[in-house]
């Protein structure tokens, strides 16, 4: 996991990453990655060679491919 974290952490626009297990279901996780803007993920990281290495490292942890959703800033941010 450390190698995957270092790959994503060096991406332009990356802010943070969290992996949280679901309460009561230790085989299900929430992966929350924060970017400066959606395009940094979608048009930058997802189209890079680093993304292919990231997928190869994490592919064994999920089946099928996880759902990706984009959310705006927290409503609690000023």
Q: pLDDT by residue (tens digit) across 24-71? A: 998 888 889 999 999 999 999 999 999 999 988 988 777 777 888 998
For residues 74 and 14, the model is more confident at: 14
Q: Where are the domains of the chain?
A: 2-61
Terminal Cα distance for the chain, rounded: 33
| CATH for the 2-61 domain, from 3.40.1280.30, 3.30.70.100, 3.40.640.10, 1.20.1050.10 | 3.30.70.100
CA pair distance 27, 35, nearest whole angstrom? 26
Output the DSSP codes for 39-69.
HIIIIIGGGSHHHHHHHHHHGGG-SSPPP--
**CA distances from residue 26 to 12, 18, 30, 31 in whole angstroms, order as listed:** 32, 15, 11, 14
Residue 3: per-residue pLDDT: 94
């Amino acid at each position: 996991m450390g190698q995957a974290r270092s790959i994503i952490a060096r991406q332009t626009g990356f802010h943070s990453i969290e992996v949280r297990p679901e309460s009561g279901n230790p085989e299900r996780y929430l992966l929350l990655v924060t970017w400066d803007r959606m395009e940094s993920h979608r048009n930058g990281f997802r189209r890079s060679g680093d993304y292919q290495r990231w997928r190869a490292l994490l592919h064994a942890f999920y089946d099928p491919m996880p759902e990706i959703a984009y959310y705006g800033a927290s409503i609690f941010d000023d």
